[in-house]
Structure 1
Amino acid sequence: MLVKNILAEKGSEVVTIAPDSSLAEAVSLLADKRIGAVVVTKGEGRIAGILSERDIVRMLGAEGPSMLQKPLSSAMTSKVKVCHEDNTINQVMEIMTAGRFRHLPVERDGKLVGIISIGDVVKKRIEEVEHEAQEIRNYIATA
């Protein structure tokens, strides 16, 4: 299974925010959309960073509620790991596990084209395993 198959099923809509937004705006966006991360983009869909719930909690713990007035660039990850549509689920799981993050932007020609979460990946992997098990049961039943 490839990333492009996941995007074909779930869609390629990505919630984004501008780099000059405040952390308060980002928190509000995450809450309104009920998502765990937002991709920070600059002109033409170029990825400038990613801000996750973990980033916000970490900064809130260190600085308190006053951190909400700061620009989101003060908390976002600017060296964003990305994947591509031709990556496999196993490759994406390795990237996510190694980096210990749950959201991975999908990039094509340097531009954001989607995002996948660990939930998307696990769901597809479970479907693959269930399909393989069914094929084995069918093989045994007809042998």
Structure 2
Amino acid sequence: MATVQDLLDRKGADIVSIGSSATVVEAARLMNARGVGGLVVVDAPGQLLGIFTERDILRRVVAPGLDAAKVRIAEVLTTKVITCLPGTSVEECGAIMSSRRIRHLPVADDSGLKGLVTSGDVLAYRVAESEATIEYMNAYMFDIR
């Protein structure tokens, strides 16, 4: 059974992060430049403070009519962050995301932040797994060698 660590090994554990003193505009520009929908918010030593996502921009900045150029990430980030361990199964990771209605799940252990898994990562894994199963079944059923 594949684990979250397997996903990180496959996609890379590059963590796109931002400090809590940055503005929402700075965060949005970083997300756009890096092609991501969420940022890990860290303090100076790199400890996890929270997460900031596209949904946060919509719900906590745009909808209330706040000025994204003036609002600091510290004011609008999600601080009650749900995380998982590197050894968490991909299936459990997907179930956590589905039940909690989240699309970004930081991966951490006692030594700190290891990466960020997205719902897209889980979906890509499941698609690849399904394709491999289909190929295996076709080879078995039709004796393709």
Q: TM-score, normalised by structure 1?
A: 0.89
Greater per-residue helix proportion: 1
Tell me the equivalent position of 1:23.
24
The whole-number CA distance in structure 2 between the counterparts of 1:45 and 1:87 is 23
Moved over 6 A (4+): none
Tell me the equivalent position of 2:94.
93
The whole-number CA distance in structure 1 between the counterparts of 2:25 and 2:62 is 15
1:46 aligns with 2:37: no
Q: Deviations over 1:91-114 (max 9, x none)?
A: 011111111111111112151111
Tell me the equivalent position of 1:12.
13
Question: Which runs of 5 or more residues in structure 1 are unaligned?
Answer: none
The whole-number CA distance in structure 2 between the counterparts of 1:141 and 1:31 is 46
Identity of aligned residues (%): 31
Tell me the equivalent position of 1:123.
124
Shift of the 19–61 alpha-carbon distance from structure 1 to 2, 3 Å rule, reads closer
Tell me the equivalent position of 1:103.
104
Say which is worse superposed, 103-112 or 46-55, in terms of deviation: 103-112
Shift of the 110–74 alpha-carbon distance from structure 1 to 2, 3 Å rule, reads farther
Shift of the 108–126 alpha-carbon distance from structure 1 to 2, 3 Å rule, reads same
Q: Given that residues 19 and 44 in structure 2 are in contact (C-alpha distance below 8 angstroms), is that contact kept between their aligned partners in structure 1?
A: no
Q: TM-score, normalised by structure 2?
A: 0.88
Root-mean-square deviation (CA, aligned residues, Å) is 1.7
Question: Which runs of 5 or more residues in structure 2 are unaligned?
Answer: none
The whole-number CA distance in structure 2 between the counterparts of 1:97 and 1:68 is 32
The whole-number CA distance in structure 1 between the counterparts of 2:72 and 2:109 is 27
Counterpart secondary structure, 1:50: strand
Counterpart secondary structure, 2:121: helix
Shift of the 80–110 alpha-carbon distance from structure 1 to 2, 3 Å rule, reads farther
Q: Deviations over 1:28-78 (max 9, x none)?
A: 211222210000012443211000001001123333252431221221110
Aligned residues: 142
Counterpart secondary structure, 1:51: strand
The whole-number CA distance in structure 2 between the counterparts of 1:19 and 1:5 is 30
1:66 aligns with 2:64: no
